[in-house]
A and B are shown apart, each in its own frame.
Chain A
Amino acid sequence: MTPLPAGRLRRAVQAEWTKLRTVPSLPWLLAAAVGLTVLGSAGSLASVDTSQCPTPSECFEDTTKLSLSGVWLGQAAVVVLGVLAMGSEYGTGTIGPTLAATPSRRLVLLAKAVAVTAVALVAGVVGVLGSLAAGRAILPGNGFTSANGYEPLSLADGPTLRAAGGTVLYLVLVGLLSLGVATAVRGTAGAITGVLALLYAFPIVAQLVSDPRWQHRLERYGPMEAGLSVQHTMRLDELSIAPWPGLGVLATYAGFALVSGLTLFLLRDA
């Protein structure tokens, strides 16, 4: 492969950015990604309080993880966004003109990946900050106070910063995974269903499998379970997979999806 000239990349990214920016549903999708994340987190936060524990100080609740739990919901909007970046071109047939304007398919996919990353980053940062703010507001009222051994959430705290930053990266990787799958299957419906199934099916099956070895494997290699291990700030030694390697598992899924998407993209007619 020849290296891509910087000027062409910049123009391609600009073109893709314009396309994604002007998708009519983009404001809705961004609002859904942020809103679902923050609302999901707030809902989880509101339902947990120290009175459910033997004693308030024996909760051992991972308040950072609890505050970021809305990502379970918000990621669905990011999936739609990532899929639409490619899927809508096939749906409307604009893939023809796109490739006429930018004949290098590698460049098209790369530019789309950059655009999706940018949008997912914005949604992720806003959603995560909103969730942490919800955590700060709700947690003390439910008994998670300094008196009971729970310091207020703060990004100055190393593990919390890692969890927050990792969650933003998680959303970016989910967006890229969706883009890759959409490129490979060339259809919106199939790609969305496929990615949602990949993300959500693992934990459902893991929940019901009684064999601890299989449970461990499913948690270790499921894209969502492994990726979200980056949110843990307590008892890291008991995780099926450590935070960063867990995010690496998701990155591997995303990379594999992008590479197979690109391969098919290069080999097939548009």
Chain B
Amino acid sequence: MRRDGFGRLVLAEWTKLRTVPRWMTVLAGLVGVTALFALIDTSDQGGDVSEGESLQDADFTDDFHFVHQPLTGDGNIVARVVSQENSHEWAKAGLIVKERLEPGAPYAAVLVTPEHGVRMQWDFGEDVAGSENGEAPRWLRLTRSGDVVTGYESADGTDWQEVGEVDLEDLPSTVEVGLFVASPLAVEIERQYGNNSLSEIPTPGEAMFDNVRVALDRGSPAPGDGEWNDYDTSVEPDLGGSTESDGVFTVRGSGDIAENVRPFDDDLVERSLTGAGVGMLAVVALGALFITAEFKRGMIRTTFAACPGRGRVLAAKAIVLGGAAFSAGLAAAVASFLVSMRTLRTAERAPGTPELSLANPTVLRALVGTAVLFALVAVFSLAVATIVRHTAVAIPLVILPLLIPSIESGGLPLSVANWLVRLTPAAGLAVQQTITRYDTAIAPLVGLGVMAAYAAVALGVATLLLRRRDA
């Protein structure tokens, strides 16, 4: 067959899709229905943010225990973290330079964590990884030279590696340096009355330090009195404190120095795309019908007479169907998003609600991802229908695994519900997430990959069976 044969095949399949008025109505209708859901979904909720207890005005948290002293001019601080309680995987114990003793003041810190190795962090969210297995005991050093703060780590206190370097602009001559301990809030899930109730509970961080030394570079002014002071912003006052004996510091603190993660926040973009889950059902039906209609009317024999390459026929069908579903999905997603954002803009906004626009790359990923998801679902449905050859069986076979995990999850323990999402085509819906929540089951693109794997495997099996079986 000539090279352009496949192009004609695609054209033929496109003609088949295009000329069934009902199918084109369905495609147009699903865009409308999806957008309509967005309208219902976001109407009537001015400022009424559910589970709003965790909402804070600030976009950072600055809660920890700090054993500090002033440092004037250039210098460094060294200490060994002897041990650290594993109170949270992201518990922090280490050294910090802070511009002044005030929540939100600029800082740079080098620290150890129980499960994420050595890190250098600054500016509430900037994070550089040091050695991965660098849990306590570990030597840490922080140097200040002008506006530049550099973090080092060492296994033995003699052989040092740089972890990271940061320019804290306009750092005053006198800053506070010292030891700090923090341990983030943990999300606790308890089951009662057949539902999961969620709460954030403080975790008690604790670490021991020794070999603590603050030294000045030559040419700097004379040191202060070298007295250590306590500064505590722990989330619960009795979880913060410090003791010292024979140069060994035991520091306790609870909270986090980080950007304000809001594990219970609504994902506004994902919510605006809720209707897509419903619109997708139309794509499932279309995908199944695109092949079963040919089986039912015997049209498939004419198709195979015209093009004996059965794999090529299925490929052409998948391309045409995927393209149509992608276009409809993109139109539906963009329409839903715009409708939702319009409503949100007019409603009273909760503090800290980010401004979202189509130009935001995360938003764009969610919208285009939804369109890709539509295409994958359509192809998956086409493949399943080719395998089972019955519309009535194919449609529930695709719809159930796609929808059940997101419905059932309400009544199941979170860990089980999350595994249900990860292992089924429902994982593809993760591509609509734009923030990480306490119940996030799978990363957006990984989820889309799971769906793609389902579609690819089904398409492979379908091709094989189509070649082997009588038409």
Q: State the A residues within 8 Å of B (CB).
A: 25, 44, 47-48, 52-54, 58-62, 65-66, 69, 72-73, 76-77, 79-80, 83-84, 87-88, 91, 188-190, 192-193, 196-197, 200-201, 203-205, 207-211, 213-214, 234-235
B191 touches A193 (CB 8 A): no
Known contacts: A62-B194, A204-B403, A211-B45. The answer to whether A80 contacts B392 by CB under 8 A is yes
B296 touches A48 (CB 8 A): no
Shortest Cβ distance from B289 into A: residue: A189
* Most chain B Cβ neighbours within 10 Å, of A193, A205, A213: A193
Select A87's contact among B282, B284, B289, B392, beta carbons within 8 Å.
B392
Select A210's contact among B45, B395, B416, beta carbons within 8 Å.
B45
17 A-B residue pairs with CB within 8 Å: A53-B191, A60-B193, A65-B194, A73-B404, A76-B399, A76-B400, A80-B396, A83-B392, A87-B392, A88-B392, A196-B281, A200-B399, A203-B410, A204-B274, A207-B410, A210-B45, A235-B193
For the complex formed, measure the closest distance between the CB of B399 and the CB atoms of chain A, giving whole angstroms.
5
Q: Report the tally of A-B residue pairs with Cβ distances under 8 A.
A: 127
* Most chain A Cβ neighbours within 10 Å, of B194, B282, B406, B408: B194
B contact residues around A61 at 8 Å (CB) = 191, 193-194
For the complex formed, measure the closest distance between the CB of A254 and the CB atoms of chain B, giving whole angstroms.
19
Shortest Cβ distance from B397 into A: residue: A76
For the complex formed, measure the closest distance between the CB of A189 and the CB atoms of chain B, giving whole angstroms.
5
Instruction: State which residues 242-279 of B face A: CB under 8 Å.
Output: 266, 271, 274-275, 277-278
Select A197's contact among B50, B192, B278, beta carbons within 8 Å.
B278
Interface class of chain B by DSSP: helix
| CA of A195 to CA of B273, assembled, Å | 21
| CA of A65 to CA of B412, assembled, Å | 12
Known contacts: A72-B404, A80-B396, A211-B48. The answer to whether A189 contacts B191 by CB under 8 A is no
* Most chain B Cβ neighbours within 10 Å, of A62, A88, A190: A190
Shortest Cβ distance from A83 into B: residue: B392
B contact residues around A200 at 8 Å (CB) = 399, 403-404, 407
Query: Does B40 interact with chain A (Cβ within 8 Å)?
Result: yes
A205 touches B37 (CB 8 A): yes
Query: Does B341 interact with chain A (Cβ within 8 Å)?
Result: no
A contact residues around B392 at 8 Å (CB) = 25, 80, 83-84, 87-88, 188-189, 192
Query: Does B288 interact with chain A (Cβ within 8 Å)?
Result: yes
| CA of A74 to CA of B464, assembled, Å | 30
For the complex formed, measure the closest distance between the CB of A236 and the CB atoms of chain B, giving whole angstroms.
12
A contact residues around B411 at 8 Å (CB) = 44, 66, 69
| CA of A270 to CA of B191, assembled, Å | 53
B49 touches A210 (CB 8 A): yes
B contact residues around A79 at 8 Å (CB) = 396
B410 touches A193 (CB 8 A): no
B194 touches A189 (CB 8 A): no
Select A193's contact among B271, B395, B407, beta carbons within 8 Å.
B395
A47 touches B412 (CB 8 A): yes
| CA of A13 to CA of B387, assembled, Å | 34
A contact residues around B49 at 8 Å (CB) = 210
B contact residues around A210 at 8 Å (CB) = 45, 48-50, 266
| CA of A48 to CA of B416, assembled, Å | 9
Query: Does B312 interact with chain A (Cβ within 8 Å)?
Result: no
B285 touches A91 (CB 8 A): no
A52 touches B413 (CB 8 A): yes
A204 touches B407 (CB 8 A): yes
A192 touches B45 (CB 8 A): no
B413 touches A48 (CB 8 A): yes
Q: Which 9 residue pairs are nearest across A and B when measured between Cβ atoms?
A: A52-B191, A193-B285, A47-B416, A210-B50, A189-B391, A211-B45, A201-B278, A76-B396, A60-B193
| CA of A208 to CA of B50, assembled, Å | 10
Shortest Cβ distance from B196 into A: residue: A52
For the complex formed, measure the closest distance between the CB of B297 and the CB atoms of chain A, giving whole angstroms.
10
B contact residues around A88 at 8 Å (CB) = 392
A contact residues around B190 at 8 Å (CB) = 52-54
Select A188's contact among B191, B278, B281, B391, beta carbons within 8 Å.
B391
| CA of A203 to CA of B296, assembled, Å | 34
**Extra inter-chain contacts (13) besides given A188-B392, A190-B285, A214-B44, CB under 8 Å:** A25-B390, A48-B191, A52-B189, A83-B392, A197-B281, A203-B407, A204-B274, A204-B403, A208-B274, A211-B43, A211-B45, A214-B40, A214-B43
A contact residues around B277 at 8 Å (CB) = 201, 204
Known contacts: A52-B190, A211-B45. The answer to whether A193 contacts B282 by CB under 8 A is yes
B contact residues around A189 at 8 Å (CB) = 285, 288-289, 292, 391-392, 395
B396 touches A196 (CB 8 A): yes
| CA of A91 to CA of B392, assembled, Å | 11
Instruction: State which residues 189-208 of B face A: CB under 8 Å.
Output: 189-194
* Most chain B Cβ neighbours within 10 Å, of A53, A66, A197: A197
